[in-house]
Amino acid sequence: MTLSDNTLIDNYPTRSAAPARHIERVDPVVWGRVDTPALATFDHAGHTVLDGLLTPAEMAEFAAETQRLADDPDLWLDERLVVEKSSRRVRSIFEVHKLSSAIAELVRQPRIVDLARQLLGSEVYIHQSRVNYMPGFTGAGFYWHSDFETWHAEDGMPAPRAVSLSIALTDNYTHNGSLMVMPGSHRVFVPCPGETPPDHYRESLREQQIGVPSQADIGTLAQRFGISQFTGPAGSALLFDSNIMHGSSNNITPFPRSNIFLVFNSVENSLTAPYSAAEPRPAHIAARDFTPLR
């Protein structure tokens, strides 16, 4: 056996049949040197709110861009577009940093990518990008989960050395399905019960049932860490650790909630074979080109 054999070293085992105990994170949260004031509390809280990340002009540009993508008939025949489970509305479009030159430029802007470089202490690349469209009335939420749990199990991401940036394209209220996080939960890895089914992503991207903690585990975490909700005007953003416990409710209000979601992974944490799935997910969901962003 070699060190790259995932069955030999797995600091974050998950997806077993029997319930398993919580694992205290062995890896750092901040891997580099942070000199942006907004990142000062990231180590402790596992997330930070960035007010006014986009200018009004950029907001208008990205709103038009994401509408253009959702209206593109070719994309409706493309695997990268995911439709809601119980309506014919678009839920997510993946790999938007390749589909849109405006988003390609956005992810390379130093004010954005330097946040990830500082936290991760290395060059970074895009592991996943998507636009989430949560329409009014019928927008379905995302149940409680840690992103890293899925990226480790299904994509072969070795360590939680990745950060996500969710940029609001619409106003986030408490009532339109805005993101809830458990501050501090990024230090605890919660193994999730159940084997990964084949082609699980086809189901999980609409409604995730495997790779989510038990209700008892969510209860324990919520007692320990509490729950805070991200609200703020369009153009603000939430930067969060790959292992923080988070989720969102359905949106039955008339107010849509769409966001651009970018995942930066360290080039020193590039993907191996999945730790708990038979096959890796397709590259439009989990990139296997680890070229650093320039």
Nearest approach, Cβ of residue 49 and Fe ion (Å)? 17
Size of the site for ligand 6CS (CB under 6 A): 8
Is 147 among the residues that bind Fe ion (CB under 5 A)? yes
User: How far is Cα 170 from Cα 154, in angstroms, rounded to an integer?
Assistant: 31
DSSP 127-184: EEEEEEEE-TTTB----SB-HHHHHHHHH---SS-EEEEEEESS-B-TTTT--EE-TT
Give yes or no for residue 248 binding ligand 6CS (CB under 6 A): no
At closest approach, how far in Å is the CB of 121 from ligand 6CS? 23
Tell me the C-alpha distance between 65 and 76, whole Å. Answer: 16
Q: Does 145 bind ligand 6CS (CB under 6 A)?
A: yes
Are 255 and 170 spatial neighbours (Cβ–Cβ below 8 Å)? yes
Residue 65 within binding range of ligand 6CS, rule CB under 6 A: no
Give yes or no for residue 147 binding ligand 6CS (CB under 6 A). Answer: yes
Closer residue to ligand 6CS, CB minimum distance, 147 or 241: 147
Classify residue 151 as left (phi > 0), alpha (psi -120 to 50) or beta.
Answer: alpha
Query: Considering the rule CB under 6 A, would residue 150 count as an interface residue with ligand 6CS?
Result: yes
Q: Count Cα neighbours of 150 within 13 Å in the Cβ-side half-sphere.
A: 22
* Rounded Cα–Cα distance for residues 281 and 92 (Å): 16
Binding mask 194-233 for ligand 6CS (x = CB under 6 A): ----------xx--x-------------------------
Strands (E), 175-227: 180-181, 188-189
Helix axes 110-120, 101-108, angle to 10 degrees: 50
241 binds ligand 6CS (CB under 6 A): no
Start-to-end Cα distance in the chain: 36
As measured in angstroms, the least distance from the Cβ of 208 to ligand 6CS is: 5
Whose Cβ is closer to ligand 6CS: residue 25's or residue 130's? 130
166 binds ligand 6CS (CB under 6 A): no
- Judged by the rule CB under 5 A, the positions of this chain that interact with Fe ion are 147
- Judged by the rule CB under 6 A, the positions of this chain that interact with ligand 6CS are 128, 142, 145, 147, 150, 204-205, 208
